[in-house]
């Protein structure tokens, strides 16, 4: 017989073991059956190796982008109509500028926290794409893209391309001298596409460059269409991830058929939520203390003005570099001109590159004839050919990135611009070709290294009769020895044999569940 | 036939007579100092030569100074010429020749410019920017350095070289009080940014030549550079009035040399390279480290 006591404790006891929240959830479950899915989600196991956090940097920077971007849309005016700037920044006072430019300067100087938001938005864009690239590297070099995860690899590559495109569009919106030059280059690149180029360019720009409709169009693409596509693709990426479960590095207790890690609730949720705030906080710090894109110093864009040393944001750098160093070849015949010096580096090269990236899982399977499911990751050194190919492409892109600052290098080191140009042409060919064998060699070397990527063995220190100390490493574990043929799938290490495929939980909230 | 001849003769005579009259009228108009602030105004008036009514002459009729409320050009005192000649023989003649005509003593190799008729502002600019006496006569472009000679020594040499064949522009001194930074910014973007970059950091041009940074140049030297066009820089005369030059100089000496950096540390001018490094190393790098700390490491 329970007596109702009107105290806090009494009320709490009365509402059952899960309190009001539990009650509400129960009601929800009665109607929609959320318990089953919710339980599965909360129990989902995350193998939280640190390199899996890289993708999360990208995810959370996207959240920051959305939040800050929504703020910016409140003040930005997507119009190329001319107006007279009469704001507080004197060096622009009275100049004829576009509404877009004026509103971005006003957003920076006249809106409370406006500059902070603009800078956070731009920094998080740089971080977003940087994190995507690093995350992609992790997936590539550990072989996480193999069956069954090829779809997610393709979605990821699409996300990278969309992020780059949206970054370029956003960079163009303020309509300053530097970004206007970028739009002009984009226009010329579109023009250089054989046959359809001029039609496509006129269609996109609503006429000849610069026109007055490109910024409103960029705006809609930048704030609505592409973010929506990105958002849905990110959703698909995550759904596939949960459905297929994470990969994991081989290790004690880990097999192809289980997942070892911490459950979503409470451990991983705490970690990842904390991480989101760290990402947002780091972006806010950069936004507060490091200036980015001071458009008021660049002034408004006018087709008659140009500044030297104009460069795009870093993620466009490799394309700019390719454009800079490509030799001046062009085709003139039959009354047509094809500017190959633009078409090849700016249209054909990125086309080939991104198609190659998309097709990589298929290409690799063609070579390895490996049709197995893979849930355990590779160590990069155990896959020397793949690793070397990846490093070669990364080196090529880095060289092209460096080539996007030929003028800055020439000026800084007091070199001739021509010398720098030719050196970059040569380096862009030589370095990737060199990178492949060098990486290959290093991988093979690391495989032979007792202890590289393996469990550590003890050093045995002995004292000789003369009193000298000699340290000899104990021999490597048998199952850590090299697998000679890289195309052979690595068998599960024997020190994992005692694994029972049952659910078990260990220290620190780590659980092991079957897939 | 004959009549056509006569017609063209009349036309030529009219032009010859009317030209100077119109020119004088135009310069008189320009000298009224009413500057209409249209940024793209062109015209030969006020282009660094004494064509205004503000010309001050001494008793012997030589021009002492000229200009307007934006820039006053002053001739170095001719009395300094004797001192100037000895300074020139000491410091410059080994390369430019004892007659300043670019013909050095026998046996000196190299091509040296003839300095006769260059005008005091040119001589003064090259000395006071430390370019002359040249450190390396074979260099494609002489670098700015700490000046070897003082201001008054530079004036003395300018006075002597100018006495060989008087020329203009004289040494400018800008008055920036009523100059307009906003017009200056627009004119800078239009005329200078293509070489010096919009932030004034300068950049490499062709083999061995570069447009220098403008972050540390005194105002009068900016005027000298605009009006005399050192090295590979074009010489801006008729297309920029003295008032427009003053606007540019004000923009350069205020906003370019002391940029307003709201929004944190300016990352050294045209940013994307620097911004990329900060974004990748500080942003992605630090966050990856935090990820390393949060995540599992085996
Ligand atoms: C895929 C993610 C996105 C990327 C990579 C990205 C990138 C950028 C970049 C680099 C800029 C230039 C800002 C500057 O000049 O400092 C920009 C501007 C802008 N972004 Fe985004 N953005 C993204 C998503 C969004 C979203 C979702 C919105 C709105 C819902 C948005 C709204 C804006 C607006 C209004 C501007 C112009 C304001 C300005 O010029 O500062 N962005 N964006």
For residue A166 and ligand 1, the question of a CB distance below 6 A is answered with: yes
Structurally, chain A folds into a number of domains equal to 1
Mean pLDDT of A189-211: 91
User: Given CB atoms, is A279 within the 8 Å cutoff of chain B?
Assistant: yes
pLDDT > 90 fraction of chain B, expressed in percent and rounded = 25
Helix (H) / strand (E) element for A471: namely strand A469-473
Confidence at residue A409, expressed as pLDDT on a 0 to 100 scale: 86
Does A440 have pLDDT greater than 70? Answer: yes
Angle between the N-to-C axes of helices A34-43 and A19-32, in degrees from 0 to 180, rounded to the nearest 10: 120
Last residue of a domain, one of B122, B145, B167: B167
Last residue of a domain, one of B167, B185, B209: B167
Query: pLDDT: is B12 or A58 the higher one?
Result: A58
Chain A environment of B251 (Cβ under 8 Å) = 91
Residue B85 domain-assigned? yes
| d(CA A305, nearest CA chain B) in Å | 5
SS3 state of residue B240: coil
Mean pLDDT of A232-239: 94
Last residue of a domain, one of B139, B167, B195: B167
- Which positions 185-214 of B are in contact with A (Cβ < 8 Å)? 185-186, 189-190, 193-199, 201-208, 210-211
If asked whether residues B117 and B10 sit together in one domain, one would say no
Residue B274 domain-assigned? no
Mean pLDDT of A132-140: 95
Tokens for A479, please give them. 């199952």
Does B211 have pLDDT greater than 60? Answer: yes
**Contact check, Cβ <8 Å, A251/B267:** no
Residue B119 domain-assigned? yes
| d(CA A312, nearest CA chain B) in Å | 6
Q: How confident is the model at residue A6 (pLDDT cuts 50, 70, 90)?
A: confident
Q: Which residue has the tokens 């080196």?
A: A395
Tell me the sheet residues that pair with B169.
none
Confidence at residue B214, expressed as pLDDT on a 0 to 100 scale: 92
Does A500 have pLDDT greater than 50? Answer: no
Confidence at residue A501, expressed as pLDDT on a 0 to 100 scale: 44
If asked whether residues B104 and B125 sit together in one domain, one would say yes
If asked whether residues B229 and B204 sit together in one domain, one would say yes
Confidence at residue B9, expressed as pLDDT on a 0 to 100 scale: 58
Does A284 have pLDDT greater than 80? Answer: yes
pLDDT > 70 fraction of chain B, expressed in percent and rounded = 77
For residue A174 and ligand 1, the question of a CB distance below 6 A is answered with: yes
User: What's A149's domain CATH number?
Assistant: 1.20.810.10
Q: Let me know: does A417 contact A406? Beta carbons within 8 Å.
A: yes
Q: What is the pLDDT of residues B125-156, one digit of tens each?
A: 999 999 988 888 778 888 899 999 999 999 99
Q: How confident is the model at residue B43 (pLDDT cuts 50, 70, 90)?
A: very low
Tell me the sheet residues that pair with A511.
A261, A505
Q: Whose CA is nearest to atom 9 of ligand 1?
A: A170
If asked whether residues B140 and B174 sit together in one domain, one would say no
Mean pLDDT of A278-301: 91
Confidence at residue B217, expressed as pLDDT on a 0 to 100 scale: 93
Of B183, B279, B286, the CB nearest to A126: B279
Residue B279 to residues A127, A229, A287, B83, B275: CA-CA distances in angstroms?
Answer: 6, 25, 11, 58, 6
If asked whether residues B235 and B193 sit together in one domain, one would say yes
Mean pLDDT of B61-82: 85
Query: pLDDT: is A89 or A39 the higher one?
Result: A89
- Which positions 49-88 of A are in contact with B (Cβ < 8 Å)? 49-54, 56-57
For residue A182 and ligand 1, the question of a CB distance below 6 A is answered with: no
**Contact check, Cβ <8 Å, A89/B199:** no
Chain A environment of B294 (Cβ under 8 Å) = 48, 50, 53, 271, 274-275
Please report the ipTM that was assigned to this predicted complex.
Answer: 0.79
Q: What is the DSSP letter of A331?
A: E
Confidence at residue B45, expressed as pLDDT on a 0 to 100 scale: 44
Does A490 have pLDDT greater than 50? Answer: no
User: What's B201's domain CATH number?
Assistant: 1.10.760.10
Where is average pLDDT lowest: A139-143, A222-226, A327-331? Answer: A327-331
Confidence at residue A47, expressed as pLDDT on a 0 to 100 scale: 79
Residue B289 to residues A133, A431, B253: CA-CA distances in angstroms?
Answer: 16, 29, 43
For residue A73 and ligand 1, the question of a CB distance below 6 A is answered with: yes
Confidence at residue B115, expressed as pLDDT on a 0 to 100 scale: 86
Tokens for A341, please give them. 């010096």
Q: How confident is the model at residue B28 (pLDDT cuts 50, 70, 90)?
A: very low
* Mutation for B interface: A290, A299, A493, most B CBs within 10 A: A290
Instruction: Render A362-415 in DSSP notation, one character per residue.
Output: HHHHHHH---S---BPPPGGG-HHHHHHHHHHHHHHHHHHHHTTHHHHHHHTT-
Confidence at residue A504, expressed as pLDDT on a 0 to 100 scale: 52
Residue of B nearest to A171 (CA): B272
For residue A230 and ligand 1, the question of a CB distance below 6 A is answered with: yes
Of B203, B208, B295, the CB nearest to A50: B295
Can you say whether the dihedral through the CA atoms of B43, B46, B50, B53 is positive or negative?
positive
Q: Where would I find the H helices in A303-383?
A: 317-325, 340-343, 349-368
Of A56, A92, A313, the CB nearest to B185: A92
Residue A233 domain-assigned? yes
Q: Let me know: does A310 contact A178? Beta carbons within 8 Å.
A: yes
User: Given CB atoms, is B255 within the 8 Å cutoff of chain A?
Assistant: yes
Structurally, chain B folds into a number of domains equal to 3
Q: What angle do CA B69, B75, B78 make, to 5 degrees?
A: 155
If asked whether residues B30 and B152 sit together in one domain, one would say no
Mean pLDDT of B190-214: 88
Residue B298 domain-assigned? no
If asked whether residues B16 and B162 sit together in one domain, one would say no
Residue B245 lies in domain? 42-75+170-260
Confidence at residue B106, expressed as pLDDT on a 0 to 100 scale: 66
Write down the mean pLDDT value for chain B: 79
- Which positions 345-404 of A are in contact with B (Cβ < 8 Å)? none
Query: pLDDT: is B127 or B116 the higher one?
Result: B127
Q: Give the position, in ligand 1's atom list, of the atom nearest the Cα of A66.
A: 27
If asked whether residues B131 and B198 sit together in one domain, one would say no
Does A116 have pLDDT greater than 70? Answer: yes
For residue A76 and ligand 1, the question of a CB distance below 6 A is answered with: yes
Residue A49 domain-assigned? no
Does B39 have pLDDT greater than 60? Answer: no
Residue A145 domain-assigned? yes
**Contact check, Cβ <8 Å, A313/B272:** yes
**Contact check, Cβ <8 Å, A313/B286:** no
Confidence at residue B229, expressed as pLDDT on a 0 to 100 scale: 87
Calpha distance B126→B233 (Å, rounded) = 13
Residue A173 lies in domain? 56-253+267-320
pTM for this entry: 0.82
Residue A408 domain-assigned? no
Confidence at residue B267, expressed as pLDDT on a 0 to 100 scale: 65
Sorted by sequence, the CB contacts under 8 Å of residue A165 that are 6+ apart come out as: A226
Residue A476 domain-assigned? no
Q: What is the pLDDT of residues A360-417, one digit of tens each?
A: 999 999 998 888 888 888 888 888 999 999 999 999 999 999 998 888 888 888 888 8
Tell me the sheet residues that pair with A332.
A337
Q: What is the 3-state secondary structure (H, E, C) of A225-269?
A: HHHHHHHHHHHHHHHHHHHHCCCECCCCCCCCCEEEEEEHHHHHH
**Greatest mean pLDDT among B95-104, B186-195, B260-269:** B186-195
Chain A environment of B275 (Cβ under 8 Å) = 126, 292-293, 313-314
Confidence at residue A479, expressed as pLDDT on a 0 to 100 scale: 57
**Greatest mean pLDDT among A31-40, A215-224, A490-499, B7-16:** A215-224
Q: How confident is the model at residue A135 (pLDDT cuts 50, 70, 90)?
A: very high
């Amino acid at each position: 017989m329970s007596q109702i006591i009107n105290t806090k404790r009494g009320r709490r006891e009365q509402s059952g073991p899960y309190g009001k929240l539990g009650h509400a959830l129960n009601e929800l479950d009665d109607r929609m059956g959320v318990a089953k899915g919710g339980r599965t989600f909360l129990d989902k196991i995350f193998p939280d190796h640190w390199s899996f956090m890289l993708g999360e940097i990208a995810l959370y920077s996207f959240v920051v982008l959305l939040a800050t971007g929504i703020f910016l849309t409140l003040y930005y005016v997507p119009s190329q109509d001319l107006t007279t700037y009469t704001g507080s920044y004197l060096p622009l006072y009275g100049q004829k500028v576009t509404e877009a430019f004026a509103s971005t300067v006003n957003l920076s100087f006249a809106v409370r926290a406006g500059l902070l938001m603009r800078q956070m938005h731009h920094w998080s864009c740089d971080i977003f794409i940087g994190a995507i690239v690093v995350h992609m590297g992790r997936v590539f070099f550990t072989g996480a893209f193999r069956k069954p995860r090829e779809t997610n690899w393709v979605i990821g590559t699409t996300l990278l391309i969309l992020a780059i495109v949206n970054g370029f569009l956003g960079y163009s919106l303020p309509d300053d001298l530097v970004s206007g030059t970028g739009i002009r280059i984009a226009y010329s690149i579109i023009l250089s596409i054989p046959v359809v180029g001029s039609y496509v360019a006129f269609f996109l720009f609503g006429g000849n460059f610069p026109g007055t409709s490109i910024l409103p169009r960029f705006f809609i693409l930048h704030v609505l269409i592409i973010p929506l596509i990105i958002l849905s693709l990110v959703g698909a990426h995550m759904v596939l991830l949960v459905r297929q479960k994470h990969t994991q590095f081989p290790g004690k207790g880990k097999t192809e058929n289980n997942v070892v890690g911490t459950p979503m609730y409470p451990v991983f949720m705490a970690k990842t939520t904390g991480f989101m705030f760290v990402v947002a906080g780091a972006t806010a710090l950069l936004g507060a203390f490091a200036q980015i894109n001071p458009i008021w110093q660049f002034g408004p864009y006018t087709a008659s003005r140009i500044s030297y040393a104009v460069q795009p944001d870093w993620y466009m750098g490799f394309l700019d570099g390719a454009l800079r160093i490509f030799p001046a070849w062009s085709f003139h015949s039959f009354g047509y001109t094809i500017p190959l010096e633009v078409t090849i580096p700016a249209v054909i090269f990125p086309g080939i590159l991104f198609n190659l990236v998309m097709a990589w899982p298929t290409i690799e399977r063609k070579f390895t004839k490996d049709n197995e499911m893979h849930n355990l990751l590779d160590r990069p050194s155990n896959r020397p050919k793949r690793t070397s190919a990846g490093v070669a492409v990364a080196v090529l892109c880095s060289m092209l990135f460096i080539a996007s600052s030929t003028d800055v290098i020439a000026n800084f080191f007091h070199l001739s611009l021509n010398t720098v140009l030719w050196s970059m042409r040569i380096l862009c060919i030589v370095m990737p070709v060199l990178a492949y064998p060098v990486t290959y060699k290093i991988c093979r070397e690391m495989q032979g290294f007792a202890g590289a990527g393996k469990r550590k063995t003890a050093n045995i220190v002995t004292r000789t009769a003369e009193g000298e100390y000699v340290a000899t490493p104990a021999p490597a574990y048998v199952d850590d020895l090299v697998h000679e043929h890289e195309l052979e799938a690595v068998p599960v290490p024997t020190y994992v044999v005692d694994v029972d495929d049952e659910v078990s939980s260990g220290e620190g909230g780590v659980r092991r569940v079957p897939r | 036939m004959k009549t056509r001849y006569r017609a063209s003769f009349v036309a030529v005579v009219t032009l010859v007579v009317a030209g100077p009259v119109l020119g004088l009228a135009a310069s008189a108009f320009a000298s009224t100092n009413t500057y209409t602030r249209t940024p793209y105004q062109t015209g030969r008036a006020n282009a660094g030569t004494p064509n205004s009514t503000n010309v001050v002459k001494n008793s012997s009729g030589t021009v002492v100074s000229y200009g307007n409320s934006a820039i006053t050009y002053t001739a170095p005192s001719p009395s300094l010429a004797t001192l100037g000649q000895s300074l020139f023989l000491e410091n410059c003649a080994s390369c430019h020749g004892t007659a300043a005509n670019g013909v050095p003593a026998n046996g000196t190799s190299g091509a040296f410019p003839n300095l006769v008729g260059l005008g005091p502002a040119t001589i003064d600019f090259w000395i006071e920017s430390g370019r002359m006496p040249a450190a390396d006569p074979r260099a494609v472009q002489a670098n700015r350095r700490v000046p070897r000679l003082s201001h008054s020594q530079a004036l003395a040499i300018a006075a002597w070289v100018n006495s060989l064949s008087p020329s203009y522009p004289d040494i400018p001194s800008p008055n920036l009080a009523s100059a307009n930074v906003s017009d200056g910014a627009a004119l800078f973007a239009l005329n200078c940014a293509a070489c010096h970059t919009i932030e004034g950091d300068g950049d490499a041009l062709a083999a061995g030549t570069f447009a220098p940074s403008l972050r540390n140049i005194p105002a009068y030297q900016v005027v000298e550079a605009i009006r005399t066009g050192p090295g590979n820089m074009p010489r801006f005369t008729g297309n920029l009035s003295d008032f427009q030059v003053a606007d540019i100089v004000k923009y350069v000496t205020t906003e370019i040399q002391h940029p307003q950096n709201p929004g944190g540390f300016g990352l050294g001018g045209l940013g994307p390279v620097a911004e990329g490094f900060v974004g990748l190393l500080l942003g992605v790098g630090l966050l990856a480290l935090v990820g390393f700390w949060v995540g599992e490491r085996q």
